[in-house]
């Protein structure tokens, strides 16, 4: 039903999806455990580390900063912490590749180290806005140069002092960058969010023995606390799981079980939307690791219906919107899906609003693009030729939508799924060819 070669994939229509699946380690959590391990005292051993290229970029940056990183296999990463303020000046510019999280979080660490570092990335990352971290890190005492507020960043780090800061956009990356910098600062760093975002950094700080106060949307960390290395297991990535959930929700007669997946409440909003869209979703938390709940999602199609994603929900499911767009295309004719308040989608790995609209439309969908979202009026897709636009989540969203089309879909640049989900197309084939 499917042919995937290095950079293009051909996805054929599928009847239903069924089976059990394990997803790669959570990307957000993997970055955080590696970064905290690097600045901790003593060794850190991470199992289930994300197999994606983004998290490999974080490890490569850490190695260039003098951190010993071993990857003995099976998704295990062993890091010898260099302690607070212990990173070394790299000999060459750091490469964050496609990873915004790498760039923004590593910038928080570099801001506190007394040397100059240049950090850049690929063409997509080079278009992404960095003022959101440059401005507060500069206020803390770093000097950061960037043309037009975009990568590459030239960071001259040094002694930092704590600040109180309310980011303009809800962003877990900005919050995390400031909290990591704040660990190295004198005094206290306070981040006041306008809306809640994923809280993995807060949980990871606690797991590494750092005291952090959280009262509502206010996070506070006292500088000078030394993280302590430890062993941790990364849960499966719910953002990768979301594509299987959508496939199951959108193809009648489907049932998919995802085991070992992270069920942190700051990431599960997508499941609430899927329930509103008619899917039958069950979750069971069976254990916790480092403060992160881990369990199973079981999802079957139910009776798909129209749904909207409200602006207040957006920060909690920003990465799942391409998948939810794919669900919009799989709904019965006459149903609609709509999301507003999601202008941030325009500054992700691609302009996800226009690239999604273009791709779904090329497959036969009726899509309306808004400055801050999109609307899909469901009608049968015929398939066609689409471009992943260098964006892993778009490649996966198009692949899921393609399963519901009447004809095949060629996805150009599909190899980009390796950013977060190597093996995605093999799993798609397995889940849609099981009887």
Q: List the catalytic residues.
A: 319
Peptide bond just before 122 cis, omega within 30 deg: no
> Pick from 299, 231, 230, 297: which is nearest to 267 by CA?
297
Q: Are strands 255-262 and 18-22 parallel, antiparallel or unpaired?
A: parallel
DSSP string, 324-367: HHHHHHHSPTT-EEEE-S-GGGGGSSS-HHHHHHHHHHHTT-EE
Minimum distance, C-beta of residue 245 to ligand S3P, in the bound complex (Å): 17
> Pick from 144, 133, 86, 130: which is nearest to 108 by CA?
133
- Main-chain phi, psi angles of 269, to 5 degrees: -55, -30
- Span of 56-64, 167-175, 242-250, 372-380 interacting with ligand S3P by CB under 6 A: 167-175
| Burial call 372-398: b when 16+ CB within 10 Å, e when fewer | ebbbbbbeebebbebbbbbbbbbbbbb
Number of residues that bind ligand S3P (CB under 6 A): 9
Which CB atom, from 65 or from 314, has the smaller least distance to ligand S3P? 314
* Spatial CB neighbours of 73, under 8 Å, sequence gap ≥ 6: none
Distance, in Å, from the CA atom of 350 to the CA atom of 294, rounded to the nearest integer, reads: 30
* Spatial CB neighbours of 398, under 8 Å, sequence gap ≥ 6: 11, 326, 359, 360, 363, 386, 388, 409, 411
Query: Which of 103, 172, 355, 428: binder of ligand S3P (CB under 6 A)?
Result: 172
For ligand S3P, what does the binding mask look like between residues 108 and 147, x meaning CB under 6 A? ----------------------------------------
Task: Kindly state the tokens that stand for 173.
Answer: 């990356």
Which CB atom, from 199 or from 429, has the smaller least distance to ligand S3P? 199
| Residue 171 in the binding site for ligand S3P (CB under 6 A) | yes
Are 277 and 304 within 8 A, CB to CB? yes
- Span of 166-174, 186-194, 300-308, 396-404 interacting with ligand S3P by CB under 6 A: 166-174
Residues 277-336 within binding reach of ligand S3P (CB under 6 A): 318-319
Are 218 and 192 within 8 A, CB to CB? yes
Which CB atom, from 155 or from 316, has the smaller least distance to ligand S3P? 316
Which CB atom, from 176 or from 254, has the smaller least distance to ligand S3P? 176
| Residue 101 in the binding site for ligand S3P (CB under 6 A) | yes
Minimum distance, C-beta of residue 359 to ligand S3P, in the bound complex (Å): 19
- Span of 16-24, 34-42, 170-178, 330-338 interacting with ligand S3P by CB under 6 A: 170-178
Which CB atom, from 198 or from 375, has the smaller least distance to ligand S3P? 198
- Main-chain phi, psi angles of 114, to 5 degrees: -80, 55
Query: Which of 18, 30, 173, 329: binder of ligand S3P (CB under 6 A)?
Result: 173
| Residue 264 in the binding site for ligand S3P (CB under 6 A) | no
Are 49 and 62 within 8 A, CB to CB? no
Minimum distance, C-beta of residue 392 to ligand S3P, in the bound complex (Å): 10
Minimum distance, C-beta of residue 356 to ligand S3P, in the bound complex (Å): 15
Which CB atom, from 178 or from 335, has the smaller least distance to ligand S3P? 178
Q: Which residues bind ligand S3P (CB under 6 A)?
A: 28, 101, 171-173, 176, 198, 318-319
């Amino acid at each position: 039903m499917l042919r995937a070669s290095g950079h293009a994939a051909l996805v054929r229509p599928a009847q239903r999806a069924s089976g059990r699946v394990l997803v790669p380690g959570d990307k957000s959590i993997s970055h955080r455990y590696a970064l905290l391990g690097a600045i901790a005292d003593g060794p850190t051993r991470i199992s289930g580390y994300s197999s994606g290229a983004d998290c490999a970029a974080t490890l490569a940056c850490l190695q260039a900063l003098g951190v010993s990183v071993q990857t003995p296999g099976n998704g295990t990463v062993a890091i010898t912490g260099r302690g607070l303020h212990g990173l070394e000046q790299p000999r060459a510019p750091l490469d964050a590749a496609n990873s915004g999280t790498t760039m923004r979080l590593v910038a928080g660490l570099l801001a506190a180290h007394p040397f100059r570092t240049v950090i850049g990335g690929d063409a997509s990352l080079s278009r992404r806005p960095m003022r959101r971290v440059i401005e507060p890190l500069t206020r803390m005492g770093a000097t950061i140069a960037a043309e037009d507020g975009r990568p590459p960043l030239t960071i001259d780090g040094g002694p930092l002092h704590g600040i109180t800061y309310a980011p303009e956009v809800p962003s877990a990356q900005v919050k995390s960058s400031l909290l990591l910098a704040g660990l190295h600062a004198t005094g206290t760093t306070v981040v006041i969010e306008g809306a809640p975002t994923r809280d993995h950094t807060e949980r990871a700080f606690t797991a590494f023995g750092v005291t952090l106060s959280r009262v509502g949307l206010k996070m506070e960390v006292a500088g000078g606390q030394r993280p302590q290395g430890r062993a941790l297991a990364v849960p499966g990535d719910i953002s990768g799981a979301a594509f299987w959930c959508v496939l199951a929700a959108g193809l009648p007669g489907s049932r998919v079980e995802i085991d070992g997946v992270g069920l942190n409440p700051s990431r599960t909003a997508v499941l609430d939307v899927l329930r509103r869209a008619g899917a039958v979703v069950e979750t069971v938390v069976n254990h916790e690791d480092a403060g992160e709940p881990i369990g199973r999602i079981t999802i079957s199609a139910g009776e798909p219906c129209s749904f909207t994603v409200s602006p207040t929900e957006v920060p909690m499911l920003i990465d799942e919107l391409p998948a939810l767009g794919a669900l919009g295309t799989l709904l019965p004719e006459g149903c609609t899906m709509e999301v507003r308040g999601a202008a941030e989608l325009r500054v992700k790995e691609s302009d996800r609003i226009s690239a999604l609209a273009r791709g779904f439309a090329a497959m036969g969908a009726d899509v309306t693009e808004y400055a801050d979202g999109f609307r899909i009026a469901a009608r049968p897709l015929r398939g066609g030729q689409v471009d992943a636009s260098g964006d892993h989540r778009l490649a996966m969203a198009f692949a899921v939508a393609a399963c519901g089309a009447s004809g095949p879909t060629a996805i150009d640049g599909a190899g980009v799924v390796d950013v977060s989900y190597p093996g995605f197309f093999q799993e798609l084939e397995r889940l849609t060819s099981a009887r």
